[in-house]
Structure 1
Amino acid sequence: MNFPELHNQWISFSTIVSLFGLLALYGSAFVPNALQRVFRYGKTANDENQPNKPNLISIPKKSAKHHLCPLLTPVSIHRWFFHFYVFATLFYAALLVIVLRVYLFRQSVPKLLALTLDTVVGRHRRSSVSPESVLVAMCLLQLQVSRRLYECTQLSVYARDGKMALIHYLCGFSFYFGVGLSLLAEASGFQSTNGSSRDLILRNLCLPNHVIGVSLFLFFSFVQFKSHVILAELRKDSKGRVVTYGHSIPNGHWFEYVSCPHYLAEILIYLCLSLVLSGRSSYWWLVCSFVVANQVVVGLFNHKWYLQHFHNYPKHRKAVFPFVL
């Protein structure tokens, strides 16, 4: 079976999200409800024209009380998209182990991963990203999904009736799978041929692009974490107990400038990883393009919802980018 190259898939996904997302946002009267549900989830999904109509392609964003994992305490209400982060954490951990084995112990790329890269990305891919950059970026990516898993299971407080489209659920897994492959798509030593270098030079781990990229990554990760803390505290009392599942206007930190600073931070986090990769990975730039398109569209939906439901909502706030959009 022949799969389209990952390069073309990222371009297609970015185009679809941008065009149909904006159409669903600004031309909802001309867009079928089934298509709108692909882009509406969480609080924005409750604004559908027929909210009580059964939706066969929607699933609950939260799951029932979990008894299988000690991390999933009954204090938290968990959305199904925490499954994304479980998958991503395990998948990226496996990729990180492979990267370490290839670069530190000069072992060959596992046949299954090599076959997957050859099939999904293509056999004739270039070697443009150094082993040091790949290792640093892989560690940061692992840190990002692990933090998000913690936030979903231990920090965030989600509405009881949140829903998302089944296609959105499936695309979540596809996204994190594609991100992992994209990071290795042009990694030195992961090509079918043996001509690319697998030598890890430790002093190159402290190159300026790595130091700056890691520093900015950690800063924007804190911004995203802080944003999630503020959103969670809107539903808790001073003792940390959940007292409501309703929606309120978030204030403080970057919320003073945009409605969705966590989406802005997500965009900047992925751009930081591109800096770590020295901007040499065309596949990672395509990942960033998709992240920008997706976060902007979702941010615009949320911003519009806030304006419609809170008449005293700060008029100076933008959706995602301060003073711009």
Structure 2
Amino acid sequence: MIRYGKLVNDAKERSAISWKNLEVPKSYFKYIYSVSAWVYVPIILYQVILVYFLEKNASQWFTALLDICCGSDRIAMVSTTHTVIAVFLMTLQIWRRFYDTHFVSVFSKKASMFCLQFIIGIFYYFIALVILLSEAPKFAVTRGEDKFNWSHVTITDAVAVLVFFWAWYRQHTTTVILANLRKNKKGAVVTENYKLPEGDLFKYLSSPHCTTEILMYLCLWVILGYQHSWWCVCTLVLSNQLDSIISTHKWYKKKFKNFPKERKALIPFVI
């Protein structure tokens, strides 16, 4: 798995990997979300509005891209309504992550990430959004007429959306807590050292921002349906976030002697 920040900067891990010359500052996450928020999202929103609200065909180049990346024999596996909801939620997540990385997070000048992670990050959200639309009505072979209709939203969908928003907001609050560890009461950055976060979900978990990330993607999977190829994206996110959660939990326990014994890695009170 790909790691960054304190996990990369750990002396023992760095000596074992020896990728010093293949690293970039962790603050480069800003570029990942800048490209995603202001290049990829507008492209996807334009295609969605064009097809579902203006009732026109998707751009030829975009259809060709879907055929190349996902195959030309794609069949619509989800409704228009669920597609629009999923795109809307992903858009909110990308824009909020842009805000967090630019106006909330305090990156240490010593923190770094591997170039490979940066390169993957630059293209990740576009690939994820393309997969989201790859099996959507009118972007794939569609049986019958399928238009946006609120009546298609089930109770399960509504619960998934509510859980998504809860996780979305909680991920932001944990980001604020992490940033405040390096600020004084006036909001000025006074240190770049790592400290043990406390409060909110940190009472129960070592990396709640990672756990909420997993939760959001699972909610999108519920909304899109289990037959949708979104499970591929979920698998990638789950494996990467689990590695980060476990590694961070071990790092905190090793680094801080006052680490709360009741704090878990993934699921509160369980594990």
> TM class by shorter-chain length?
over 0.9
The amino acid across from 2:242 in the alignment is: V
Shift of 1:263: 0.3
Output aligned runs, 1:1-325, within 5 Å: 17=1, 39-49=2-12, 55-61=20-26, 79-89=27-37, 90-191=39-140, 193=141, 195-197=142-144, 199-204=146-151, 206-281=153-228, 283-325=229-271
The amino acid across from 1:59 in the alignment is: V
Shift of 1:316: 2.1
The amino acid across from 2:75 in the alignment is: R
Shift of 1:223: 1.0
Query: Aligned partners of 1:246 and 1:41: how far apart in 2?
Result: 15
The amino acid across from 2:257 in the alignment is: H
Query: Aligned partners of 2:247 and 2:91: how far apart in 1?
Result: 29
Shift of 1:317: 1.6
- Taking only the aligned residue pairs, the percentage that are identical comes to 34
Structure 1 or 2: larger helix share?
Answer: 2
Q: Please say if residues 100 and 135 of structure 1, whose CA atoms lie closer than 8 Å, have aligned partners that are also in contact.
A: no
Give the secondary structure class of the aligned counterpart of 1:49: helix
Give the secondary structure class of the aligned counterpart of 2:24: strand
TM-score by length of 1: 0.78
Shift of 1:46: 1.7
Q: Please say if residues 81 and 150 of structure 2, whose CA atoms lie closer than 8 Å, have aligned partners that are also in contact.
A: no
Give the secondary structure class of the aligned counterpart of 1:179: helix
Query: Aligned partners of 2:236 and 2:267: how far apart in 1?
Result: 16
Shift of 1:162: 0.7
Give the secondary structure class of the aligned counterpart of 1:259: coil
The Cα offsets for residues 15-61 of structure 1, whole Å up to 9 and x where unpaired, read as xx4xxxxxxxxxxxxxxxxxxxxx33201112133858772211122
- Which stretches in structure 2 are left out of the alignment for 5+ residues? none
Shift of 1:209: 3.5
Query: Aligned partners of 2:63 and 2:164: how far apart in 1?
Result: 29
The amino acid across from 1:311 in the alignment is: K
Query: Aligned partners of 1:94 and 1:162: how far apart in 2?
Result: 32
The Cα offsets for residues 130-172 of structure 1, whole Å up to 9 and x where unpaired, read as 0011011101100000000000000111111111111111111
**Structure 1 residues 124-133 or 49-58, which shifts more?**
49-58
The amino acid across from 1:47 in the alignment is: D
Query: Aligned partners of 1:145 and 1:171: how far apart in 2?
Result: 15
- Which stretches in structure 1 are left out of the alignment for 5+ residues? 1-16, 18-38, 62-78
Query: Aligned partners of 1:197 and 1:149: how far apart in 2?
Result: 38
Q: Please say if residues 96 and 135 of structure 1, whose CA atoms lie closer than 8 Å, have aligned partners that are also in contact.
A: no
The amino acid across from 1:265 in the alignment is: T
TM-score by length of 2: 0.92
CA root-mean-square deviation: 1.9
Shift of 1:100: 1.4
Shift of 1:205: 5.8
